[in-house]
Homo-oligomer: A and B are copies of this chain.
Protein backbone atom coordinates (compact mmCIF):
# COMPACT_ATOMS: atom_id res chain seq x y z
CA UNK A 1 0.00 0.00 0.00
CA UNK A 2 1.25 3.39 -1.03
CA UNK A 3 0.67 6.51 1.08
CA UNK A 4 1.76 9.93 -0.18
CA UNK A 5 -0.81 12.10 1.56
CA UNK A 6 -0.34 14.33 4.59
CA UNK A 7 -4.08 14.26 5.26
CA UNK A 8 -4.68 12.66 8.66
CA UNK A 9 -8.06 11.42 7.42
CA UNK A 10 -6.14 9.47 4.77
CA UNK A 11 -3.95 8.04 7.54
CA UNK A 12 -7.06 6.95 9.45
CA UNK A 13 -8.47 5.47 6.25
CA UNK A 14 -5.26 3.50 5.72
CA UNK A 15 -5.52 2.07 9.25
CA UNK A 16 -9.13 1.09 8.56
CA UNK A 17 -8.02 -0.63 5.34
CA UNK A 18 -5.44 -2.66 7.24
CA UNK A 19 -7.95 -3.49 9.96
CA UNK A 20 -10.38 -4.79 7.35
CA UNK A 21 -7.72 -6.86 5.59
CA UNK A 22 -6.60 -8.41 8.87
CA UNK A 23 -10.23 -9.08 9.85
CA UNK A 24 -10.73 -10.94 6.58
CA UNK A 25 -7.46 -12.80 6.16
CA UNK A 26 -5.75 -12.72 9.59
CA UNK A 27 -2.13 -13.85 9.45
CA UNK A 28 -2.42 -15.16 5.90
CA UNK A 29 -2.19 -11.70 4.35
CA UNK A 30 1.16 -9.91 3.93
CA UNK A 31 0.84 -6.13 4.11
CA UNK A 32 3.53 -3.56 3.46
CA UNK A 33 2.87 0.16 3.76
CA UNK A 34 5.30 2.41 1.89
CA UNK A 35 5.16 6.12 2.69
CA UNK A 36 6.77 8.87 0.66
CA UNK A 37 6.38 12.56 -0.12
CA UNK A 38 3.90 14.27 2.19
CA UNK A 39 2.83 10.86 3.49
CA UNK A 40 6.02 10.55 5.50
CA UNK A 41 4.37 12.27 8.46
CA UNK A 42 2.51 9.04 9.26
CA UNK A 43 5.83 7.53 10.38
CA UNK A 44 7.42 10.63 11.95
CA UNK A 45 7.65 10.74 15.73
CA UNK A 46 6.37 14.31 15.92
CA UNK A 47 3.62 14.04 13.33
CA UNK A 48 1.96 10.65 13.53
CA UNK A 49 -1.37 10.33 15.31
CA UNK A 50 -1.62 6.60 14.60
CA UNK A 51 1.20 5.22 16.73
CA UNK A 52 -0.95 2.81 18.75
CA UNK A 53 -2.39 1.29 15.59
CA UNK A 54 1.03 1.06 13.96
CA UNK A 55 2.52 -0.71 16.99
CA UNK A 56 -0.40 -3.12 17.07
CA UNK A 57 -0.27 -3.86 13.33
CA UNK A 58 3.51 -4.24 13.40
CA UNK A 59 3.13 -6.85 16.15
CA UNK A 60 0.81 -8.67 13.71
CA UNK A 61 3.35 -8.63 10.90
CA UNK A 62 2.45 -5.49 8.97
CA UNK A 63 5.56 -3.76 7.58
CA UNK A 64 5.87 0.04 7.51
CA UNK A 65 8.60 1.48 5.30
CA UNK A 66 9.84 5.01 4.71
CA UNK A 67 11.29 6.24 1.40
CA UNK A 68 14.90 7.33 1.91
CA UNK A 69 14.69 9.63 -1.11
CA UNK A 70 11.93 11.52 0.66
CA UNK A 71 14.12 11.81 3.75
CA UNK A 72 16.92 13.28 1.63
CA UNK A 73 14.62 15.62 -0.32
CA UNK A 74 13.02 16.96 2.83
CA UNK A 75 16.19 16.90 4.98
CA UNK A 76 14.49 14.67 7.53
CA UNK A 77 16.80 12.56 9.72
CA UNK A 78 16.24 8.85 10.33
CA UNK A 79 16.08 9.73 14.03
CA UNK A 80 12.82 11.58 13.32
CA UNK A 81 11.21 8.33 12.22
CA UNK A 82 9.40 6.05 14.67
CA UNK A 83 11.41 2.91 15.52
CA UNK A 84 8.59 0.68 14.28
CA UNK A 85 9.35 1.75 10.69
CA UNK A 86 11.92 0.40 8.26
CA UNK A 87 13.44 2.04 5.22
CA UNK A 88 13.47 1.51 1.48
CA UNK A 89 15.73 3.46 -0.87
CA UNK A 90 12.88 4.58 -3.14
CA UNK A 91 9.15 4.18 -2.53
CA UNK A 92 8.27 3.98 -6.20
CA UNK A 93 10.98 1.41 -6.91
CA UNK A 94 9.81 -0.67 -3.93
CA UNK A 95 6.21 -0.54 -5.12
CA UNK A 96 7.17 -1.63 -8.62
CA UNK A 97 9.39 -4.47 -7.37
CA UNK A 98 6.63 -5.76 -5.12
CA UNK A 99 4.05 -5.62 -7.92
CA UNK A 100 6.43 -7.54 -10.15
CA UNK A 101 6.68 -10.16 -7.40
CA UNK A 102 2.91 -10.53 -7.54
CA UNK A 103 1.86 -8.21 -4.74
CA UNK A 104 -1.38 -6.29 -5.19
CA UNK A 105 -1.20 -2.50 -5.28
CA UNK A 106 -3.49 -0.18 -3.36
CA UNK A 107 -3.04 3.56 -3.44
CA UNK A 108 -4.26 5.19 -0.23
CA UNK A 109 -5.75 8.64 0.03
CA UNK A 110 -8.69 10.30 -1.61
Contacts and interface: CB of A to CB of B under 8 A. Distances in A.
B104 A99 contact: yes
The complex is assembled from copies of this chain, and their number is 3
Nearest to A4: B110
A53 interface: no
Contacts of A7: 110
A107 B69 CA distance: 18
Contact size class for A?
20 to 34
A50 interface: no
Nearest to A109: B110
Contact of A110 (B21, B24, B38, B100): B38
A70 to B, nearest CB: 8
Contacts of A21: 90, 92-93, 96
A105 B25 CA distance: 21
